[in-house]
């Protein structure tokens, strides 16, 4: 019986270390050195170029074209006007979604004639763009679009075309929203105008009917009539008392003063009457004043709604004029001056180096369970 000593690898590294092809130290080390050198070269060649462009959303209210942004709207009416504009966060999220859309990729592909430059079909070009161009949000509401290519001109063209396509498509989205808001506001303004016309006509009819330009002024005049009559009655009573000292009841002056006193007392009673039928009475003036004030409130409310709708419509029309300015180019397309690497080669380089070092360590100091004697 003969005994032979065979070595068996321990784990994955052991299996590789004791493979017959790897067992030869010279061959193994030469292959690892060649692979490391080749991958080191491939990490920086062909030279990759990173091109990027940064965008930032712009609030239309900061451009001074939205008068409704000052809070002059009325609730939902303000939402239809400038209050319905997209917020900065919504603009960022919408821009990112637009940048990843098929429409933008088609627009970029057509403008740069990428199928001819890349030698790919239209669908393959769209898939290539989805993989090669990245858009992300940075701090401060900044949107960055970047790509890494071995052709510097192609990288710059892609960054610039994406920036233009995003701004163009966001302009289309904003113009569509502005058109919808404009149509809704025009309907609101038309209804507010009809309501204002009816309120104005009703208020004018009331003033012509009562012969009073202002219901409140008329009420103040009537309210001061009764106290004035009381003062006149007191004065007339004092006059009669003075006349009686020198004349009898049959005296003409006394009788005249008494008749005037009776007239003043009748007028005072009529002024204090609570019935609305009595002309010039408090009751009638109260009824007329209540109606007049109600008509006046309706007129003021209708006027306020009409003015608010008009301001919001003006703001929406102004926003449509600057719809393409809502995304501003912060940095024009540029090539990143930092050293760029082919990361797939860097990853393979790290893997080969790691495996080479692990195999050398394993073969220099194998674990005790790495070998056994087979009889």
Residues 286 and 356 in one domain: no
- CB of 67 within 8 A of CB of 311? yes
How confident is the model at residue 75, as a pLDDT?
43
195 lies in some domain? no
Residues 346 and 311 in one domain: no
How confident is the model at residue 374, as a pLDDT?
34
Report the predicted TM-score, pTM, of the whole model to 2 decimal places.
Answer: 0.61
327 lies in some domain? no
- The whole-angstrom separation of Cα 49 and Cα 72 is 51
Residues 227 and 276 in one domain: yes
Q: How far apart are the first and last CA of the chain?
A: 8
How confident is the model at residue 298, as a pLDDT?
93
Residues 238 and 286 in one domain: yes
How confident is the model at residue 201, as a pLDDT?
93
Closest by CA position to 230, among listed 285, 258, 271, 259: 271
Residues 280 and 374 in one domain: no
- CB of 55 within 8 A of CB of 324? no
Residues 307 and 347 in one domain: no
Closest by CA position to 129, among listed 111, 114, 141: 114
pLDDT in tens, the chain (375 residues): 344 444 555 677 777 777 777 778 888 889 999 999 999 998 888 889 999 999 988 765 555 555 444 444 444 444 444 444 556 777 788 888 998 999 999 999 999 999 999 999 999 999 999 999 999 998 888 999 999 999 999 999 999 999 999 988 888 888 888 888 889 999 999 999 999 999 999 988 888 877 766 666 665 565 556 677 777 878 877 877 877 777 777 777 777 877 887 777 777 666 565 554 545 555 566 666 777 788 889 999 999 999 999 988 888 887 777 666 678 888 999 999 888 888 888 999 999 999 889 888 888 887 766 554 333
How confident is the model at residue 5, as a pLDDT?
42
SS3 10: coil
298 lies in some domain? yes
262 lies in some domain? yes
280 lies in some domain? yes
Please identify which residue in the block is written with the tokens 């990245």: 134
90 lies in some domain? no
94 lies in some domain? no
191 lies in some domain? no
- The whole-angstrom separation of Cα 314 and Cα 374 is 95
Please identify which residue in the block is written with the tokens 């409310």: 301
Domain of residue 237, residue span: 214-320
- At residue 176, what are phi and psi to the nearest 5 degrees? -65, -45
Domain count, the chain: 2
Please identify which residue in the block is written with the tokens 């070092």: 357
How confident is the model at residue 62, as a pLDDT?
57
| Residue where a domain terminates, one of 290, 320, 350 | 320
- The DSSP bridge partners found for residue 124 are none
SS3 371: strand
Cβ neighbourhood burial of 345 (10 Å; 0-12, 13-18, 19+): middle
């Amino acid at each position: 019986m003969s005994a032979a000593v065979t070595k068996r690898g321990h784990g994955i590294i052991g299996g590789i270390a004791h493979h017959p092809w790897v067992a030869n130290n010279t061959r193994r080390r030469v292959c690892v050195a060649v692979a490391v050198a080749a991958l080191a070269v491939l990490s920086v060649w062909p030279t990759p170029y990173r091109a990027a462009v940064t965008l930032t959303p712009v609030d239309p209210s900061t451009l001074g074209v939205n008068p409704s942004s000052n809070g002059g709207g009325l609730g939902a009416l303000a939402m239809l006007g400038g209050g319905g504009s997209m917020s900065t966060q919504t603009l960022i999220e919408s821009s990112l979604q637009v940048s990843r859309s098929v429409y933008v990729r088609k627009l970029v592909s057509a403008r740069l004639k990428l199928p001819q430059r890349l030698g790919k079909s239209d669908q393959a070009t769209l898939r290539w763009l989805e993989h090669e161009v990245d858009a992300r949000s940075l701090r401060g509401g900044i949107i960055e679009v970047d790509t890494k290519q071995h052709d510097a001109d192609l990288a710059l063209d892609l960054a610039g075309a994406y920036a233009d396509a995003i701004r163009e498509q966001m302009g289309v989205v904003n113009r569509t929203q502005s058109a919808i808001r404009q149509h809704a506001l025009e309907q609101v303004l038309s209804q507010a105008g009809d309501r204002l016309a009816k309120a104005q006509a009703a208020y004018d009819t009331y003033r012509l009917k009562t012969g009073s330009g202002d219901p409140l002024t008329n009420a103040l005049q009537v309210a001061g009539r009764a106290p004035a009559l009381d003062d006149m009655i007191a004065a007339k009573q004092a006059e009669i008392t003075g006349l009686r000292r020198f004349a009898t009841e049959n005296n003409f002056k006394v009788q005249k003063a008494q008749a005037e006193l009776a007239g003043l007392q009748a007028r005072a009673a009529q002024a204090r009457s609570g019935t609305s039928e009595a002309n010039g009475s408090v009751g009638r003036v109260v009824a007329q004043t209540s109606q007049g004030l109600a008509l006046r409130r309706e007129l003021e409310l209708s006027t306020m709604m009409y003015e608010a709708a008009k301001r919001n419509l003006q703001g929406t029309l102004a926003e449509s004029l600057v719809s393409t300015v809502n995304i501003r180019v912060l940095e024009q397309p540029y090539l990143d001056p930092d050293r760029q690497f082919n990361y797939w080669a860097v990853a393979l380089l790290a893997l080969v180096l790691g495996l080479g070092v692990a195999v050398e360590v394993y073969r220099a100091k194998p674990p005790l369970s790495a070998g056994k004697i087979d009889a």
